[in-house]
């Protein structure tokens, strides 16, 4: 119990699940040294990446690389759900284990459908920036859990486990009943999820067609829906401290309709992501850092691979 919400819980959870799957870890171990230049709370050095790193090491050193990228992601989710105590989904783990730009369909969570997309941001004339808002999200497990719990309450009205199993038409037809049972915030969050599932498909198609302007428009639309309906930008009841929303507002003002900016990762604290035209990248970086602090703007590349063994 004392390891809940700690890195030790994630290590133990990964090892436990791999052991149950047949990896013999009895009387075996390793000393690990880790270093990273990724800033804390960036939405990039998340627990998912940590879980995949642990799973990759154990898989390569003690199990001859038998686990697939999908299995490593599922192991990470198990560790986070059961040992760490956070009811996360599988998306971050899949992104970390597969790598690159990917489209993932989770209808069958045991066998997610993964499609890698060939995307060169620089060829489109853009850079991807991650902006540190200055607000951590280490103590926000309850905020993340509330999203899951509220959406589950919506599903319970229809006797279903996940929102995907509830047709949107049925949700709209029973809206008053859902509001009474789950509350209005849950209803707004459901509106976001229904629209976001459609947007994800549209984003994938836009990238496939090479229509980056359409992709950016969808990113902007997604970000606004996330802030308005999913409500994962400002922690509940926080009025004086709204660092992430200020970061997003500042970026929109600097970009003046170009590119796109939105909440990055789970939200409530942490970072924003911005697609910035290359011809204004220097100006954008200087302006954001002048307002938010030195080195708050990180120009990043999308890693083409997930967990890998070097040498």
d(CA 266, CA 271): 9
Q: Are residues 186 and 202 in the same domain?
A: yes
Residue 246 pLDDT more than 70? Answer: yes
Which regions of the chain does DSSP assign to beta strands (E)?
101-105, 113-117, 126-132, 260-264, 271-277, 297-300
pLDDT class of 14 with cuts at 50, 70, 90: very high
Please give the residue range of the domain that contains residue 130.
119-140+235-302
> How would residue 269 be classed by pLDDT, with cut points 50, 70 and 90?
confident
135 shares its domain with 239: yes
To the nearest whole number, what is the mean pLDDT of the chain?
92
Residues β-bridged to residue 73: none
For 134-144, what is the mean pLDDT?
Answer: 78
Instruction: Mean pLDDT check: name the lowest of 46-55, 69-78, 241-250.
Output: 46-55
Q: What share of the chain is helix, strand, coil (3-state, %, to 5)?
A: 55, 10, 35
Tell whether 64 is covered by a domain: yes
Under 8 Å between Cβ of 14 and 58: yes
| Number of domains forming the structure of the chain | 3
Note whether 136 and 146 are same-domain residues: no
pLDDT in tens, 25-56: 988 888 999 888 776 655 666 788 899 999 99
pTM: 0.86
pLDDT recorded at residue 138:
64
The H helix count followed by the E strand count for the chain is: 12, 6
Is residue 309 one of the residues assigned to a domain? no
Instruction: Give pLDDT, residue 44.
Output: 62
Shared-domain flag, residues 87 and 227: no
Q: For residue 311, tell me if it sits in a domain.
A: no
Which CATH number goes with the domain that contains 46?
Answer: 3.30.230.10
Q: Is 80 exceeded by the pLDDT of residue 94?
A: yes
Question: pLDDT, tens digit, for every residue of 176-203?
Answer: 999 999 999 999 999 999 999 999 999 9
Averaged over 265-282, what is the pLDDT? 93
The answer on pLDDT for 69 being more than 60 is: yes
- pLDDT value, residue 144: 87
Q: What is the pLDDT of residue 266?
A: 81
- Stretch 134-161: mean pLDDT: 89
């Amino acid at each position: 119990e004392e390891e809940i919400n700690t890195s030790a819980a994630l290590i133990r959870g990964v090892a436990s699940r791999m052991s149950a799957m047949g990896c013999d870890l009895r009387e075996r171990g390793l000393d690990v040294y880790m270093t990273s230049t990724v800033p804390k709370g960036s939405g990039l050095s998340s627990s998912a990446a940590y879980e995949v790193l642990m799973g990759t090491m154990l898989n390569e050193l003690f199990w001859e690389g038998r686990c697939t990228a999908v299995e490593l992601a599922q192991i990470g989710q198990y560790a986070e759900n059961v040992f760490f105590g956070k009811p996360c989904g599988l998306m971050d783990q899949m992104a970390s284990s597969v790598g690159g730009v990917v489209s993932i369909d989770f209808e069958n969570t045991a066998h997610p459908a993964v499609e890698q997309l060939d995307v060169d941001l620089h060829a489109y004339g853009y850079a991807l920036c991650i902006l540190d808002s200055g607000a951590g999200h280490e103590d926000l497990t309850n905020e993340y859990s509330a999203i899951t719990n509220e959406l589950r309450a919506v599903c319970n009205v229809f006797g279903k486990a996940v929102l995907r199993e509830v047709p949107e038409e049925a949700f709209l037809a029973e809206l008053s009943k859902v509001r009474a049972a789950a509350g209005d915030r849950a209803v707004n969050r459901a509106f976001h999820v229904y629209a976001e599932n459609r947007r994800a498909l549209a984003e994938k198609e836009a990238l496939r067609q090479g229509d980056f302007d359409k992709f950016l428009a969808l990113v902007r639309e997604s970000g606004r829906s996330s802030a308005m309906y999913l409500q994962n930008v400002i922690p509940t009841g926080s009025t004086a401290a709204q660092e992430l929303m200020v970061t997003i507002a500042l970026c929109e003002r600097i970009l003046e309709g170009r590119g796109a900016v939105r909440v990055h990762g789970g939200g409530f604290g942490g970072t924003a992501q911005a697609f910035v035209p290359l011809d204004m990248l220097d100006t954008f970086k200087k302006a954001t850092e002048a307002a938010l602090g030195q080195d708050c703007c990180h120009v990043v590349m999308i890693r083409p691979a997930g967990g890998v063994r070097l040498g």
